[in-house]
């Protein structure tokens, strides 16, 4: 399987566990508030949602971190809640709050009225952004598409906002599981169509962000989050234009369930920083590649500390391919950009020795 058009295909090769010369690196939320140029574009756009919904602005901010750092991937700039917004729930951002919905799901009638949005029309702005970013990237590095997981989307759809203690959705989960399953099934269909539309318009890898699955019990996680991510993975386009499209699944706080996550058919599993990546590698064996897993707080320390912490993760993963370096969560808005540069530099420099015998 070759990826002929990419000038730097290190990310794709690592996700497929093919040999690489160094460990590729990108940063979750790499286009974001820690960059002055991002804040400037956002100010021009008006607000965060306007930024997401305008393909030209989305392209501009997606490429900003690549202009600063030699990252091995771009990731579509978008919001994780585009799907429920397209379902008509009315996404908005109140000052100083996270995302909120004007019309959260409040009764059975609303739940049964949910329909799978057509990405080609109702999420056109995302699909257009993907094409435009691909053009702008000119095959320098691969573009990662993404979506929130069905359960994570459902949390916002039922609670109406983030940052809650999940009382509404967990009450539904335990008392009316069939209602939650209905929402999750619609969400899984919607995410599948959405990611496939991203692939067809140019995404070269896709990632599912399961931000809130880690708040579930071990049994509820499998039934209400992992099951639906498996359904999505089964429905994804695996090859497009003769190239494999790798998939990454990331459940924050999912370290205890690693074997289960690694068995749903995805190519790679994202790790937060609570697990030793060497231990994770032993647990998943050759099934999947691993992505992670530096605590984003390390980027508040000096370049020397960052380099030392990068080294520990590279050494723990050990020799050979199958590792994509990343943070264990999105980069903080308080990160000095020079420290992100130090991280990328450390990964690129220090990882070469772990790939000498593999190339």
Query: Which positions lie near a second copy, rule CB under 8 A?
Result: 165-167, 170-171, 173-175, 214, 216-221, 253, 255-256, 273-276, 279, 295, 297-298, 300-302, 305, 309, 312, 332, 334
Decide: 138 and 8 in contact? Cβ < 8 Å: no
CB of 115 to a second copy, least distance (A): 29
Nearer to a second copy, 112 or 312 (CB): 312
Bridge partners, residue 181, by sequence:
none
Tell me the closest approach of the beta carbon of residue 299 to a second copy, in angstroms: 9
Cβ at position 275, least distance to a second copy in Å? 6
Rounded distance between C-alpha atoms, residue 12 and residue 17, angstroms: 9
Burial of 30 (0-12, 13-18, 19+ CB in 10 A): buried
User: Do residues 332 and 295 lie in contact, with contact meaning Cβ atoms separated by under 8 Å?
Assistant: no
| Alpha-carbon span 127 to 202, nearest angstrom | 9
Using an 8 Å Cβ cutoff, are 91 and 85 in contact? yes
Closer to a second copy at the Cβ: 239 or 304?
304
Distance of CA 240 to the CA centre of its chain: 20
C-alpha to C-alpha distances, 260 to 30, 269, 287, 331, 357, nearest whole angstrom? 28, 11, 11, 27, 31
| Shortest distance, position 56 Cβ to a second copy, whole Å | 32
Closest CB 98 distance from a second copy, rounded Å: 13
Residue 218 CB, shortest distance to a second copy, in Å, is 5
**Least CB distance to a second copy at residue 334 (A):** 6
Distance CA 19, CA 319 (A): 11
Residue with tokens 């699909």: 127
3-class SS at 175? helix
Contact 254, 261 (CB under 8 A): yes
Alpha carbons 156 and 163: distance in angstroms, whole number: 9
Q: Which is nearer to a second copy, 139 or 274 (CB)?
A: 274
| CB nearer to a second copy: pick between 239 and 259 | 259
Distance CA 213, CA 254 (A): 8
Contacts 24+ apart (CB under 8 A), 110-116: 111/179, 111/182, 111/183, 112/182, 114/87, 114/182, 114/183, 114/186, 115/87, 115/186, 116/186, 116/189, 116/190, 116/193
Active site residues: 29, 33, 42, 79, 156
Is the Cβ of residue 161 or residue 352 nearer to a second copy in the bound state?
161
């Amino acid at each position: 399987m070759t990826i002929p058009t990419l000038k730097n295909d290190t990310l794709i090769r690592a996700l497929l566990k093919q040999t690489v010369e160094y460990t590729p690196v990108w940063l979750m939320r790499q286009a974001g508030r820690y960059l002055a140029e991002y804040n400037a574009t956002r100010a021009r756009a008006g607000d965060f949602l306007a930024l997401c919904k305008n393909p030209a602005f989305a392209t501009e901010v997606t490429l900003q971190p690549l202009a600063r750092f030699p990252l091995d991937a771009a990731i579509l700039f978008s919001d994780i809640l585009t799907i429920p917004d397209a379902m008509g729930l009315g996404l908005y951002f109140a000052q100083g709050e996270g995302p909120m919905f004007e019309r959260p799901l409040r009764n059975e009638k609303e739940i049964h009225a949910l329909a799978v949005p057509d990405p080609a029309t109702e999420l056109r702005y995302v699909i257009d952004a993907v094409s435009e970013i691909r053009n702008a990237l000119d095959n320098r590095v691969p573009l990662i598409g993404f979506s929130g997981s069905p359960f994570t989307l459902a949390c916002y759809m039922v609670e109406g906002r983030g940052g809650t203690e999940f009382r509404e959705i967990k009450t539904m989960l335990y008392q009316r599981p069939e209602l939650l399953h209905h929402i999750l099934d619609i969400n899984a269909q919607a995410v599948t169509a959405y990611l496939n539309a991203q692939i067809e318009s140019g995404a070269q890898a896709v990632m599912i962000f399961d931000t809130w699955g880690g708040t579930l019990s071990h049994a509820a996680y499998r039934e209400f989050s992992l099951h639906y991510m498996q359904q999505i993975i089964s429905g994804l386009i695996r090859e497009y234009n003769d190239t494999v499209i790798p998939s990454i699944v990331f459940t924050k706080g999912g370290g205890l369930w690693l074997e289960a996550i690694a068995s749903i058919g995805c190519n790679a599993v994202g790790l937060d920083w609570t697990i030793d990546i060497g231990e994770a590698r032993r647990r998943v064996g050759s099934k999947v590649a691993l992505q992670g897993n530096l605590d984003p707080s390390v980027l508040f320390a000096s370049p020397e500390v960052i380099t030392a912490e990068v080294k520990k993760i590279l050494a723990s993963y050990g020799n050979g391919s199958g590792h994509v370096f990343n943070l264990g969560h999105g980069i903080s808005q308080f990160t000095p950009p020079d420290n992100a540069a130090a991280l990328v530099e450390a990964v690129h420099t220090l990882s070469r020795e772990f790939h000498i015998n593999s190339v």
